[in-house]
Amino acid sequence: PSRTFHGNNRLLTSQIISYYESINQCKKELPEYFNFASDVLDEWSRQEKDGRKPANPAFWWVNDEGEEVKWSFEELGFLSRKAANVLSEACGLQRGDRVIAVLPRVPEWWLLNVACMRAGIVLIPGTSQLTAKDISYRLQASKAKCFITSDTLAPAVESVLPGCQSLKSQLIVGKGSRDGWLNLQELL
C-alpha cells in the first residue's frame, strides 16, 4: 500500500526497508554507474514530456519577501546542464575536481548541486558564517579548484587567495561583479 502526496505515490517505511533488504541480498541489480541528474531528473523530465507523468514542479523556492522561483523538471535539467558547462568550460573543472560553495539558500545553491552531480564534480558545501581562517583551512585541506560564493563573502576569500595554489577559478553568484571573479548569471 502507498499513500498519495501531491499526486505522487510515496513508499511506506516498510516498503523502503524491504527494498534495501533486497539490495543487500543481491536481489536487485544495481547500475555500475549512477548519476542522479541524468538517471533520475532527466528521466522524470522525459516522462512528463511523454505524458506518462503529470507535470509537477521539480523545484519551488520562496524567500521571505514572497519572491518565488519555480522550475519544472525540464527547466531544472536545462539550467543544470548550462551550469555544468559553466563549471567545465569557464571554470576549467573536470570530473573529480573539488568545488567549495558557500552561499545562502538561494535557487543557485540547488542548481549548482545538480550541475556538480551532472558533471561529476565534488561539491563541498559551507555555511556563510565561515571566517577567512575557516575558508583558508577548507581550501588547503580540500585542494579545491574553484570557490563559489556571493559578493558579500568574496572579500574573505580574496584575503586568503595568496596561500591557495590549487584554486584556479572563483565564481560569484549575484548581480555584482568583482575583478578576478566569474559571474554565474552572466555565464548562464
* Mean pLDDT of all residues in 101-117: 94
Residue 5, domain member (yes or no): no
In the prediction, which pLDDT does 15 show?
55
Q: Which amino acid is at 15?
A: Q
CB distance 123 to 79 below 8 Å: no
* Mean pLDDT of all residues in 7-12: 50
Residue 21, domain member (yes or no): no
CATH number for the domain harbouring residue 116: 3.40.50.980
Q: Could you give the CA distance from residue 54 to residue 41 in angstroms, rounded to a whole number?
A: 14
Tally of domains in the chain: 1
In the numeric block, which cell numbers belong to residue 125? 558545501
Q: Could you give the CA distance from residue 139 to residue 145 in angstroms, rounded to a whole number?
A: 8
pTM: 0.80
CB distance 145 to 166 below 8 Å: yes
Residue 38, domain member (yes or no): no
Cα separations in angstroms, 82 against 11, 69, 90, 112, 116: 33, 17, 11, 10, 11
pLDDT band at residue 53 using 50, 70 and 90 as cut-offs: confident
Q: Give 128 or 124, the one with higher predicted confidence.
A: 124
Has residue 1 got a pLDDT over 50?
A: no
Per-residue model confidence as pLDDT tens digits over 76-104: 999 999 999 999 999 999 999 999 999 98
Domain around 111: 59-186
Q: Which amino acid is at 115?
A: A
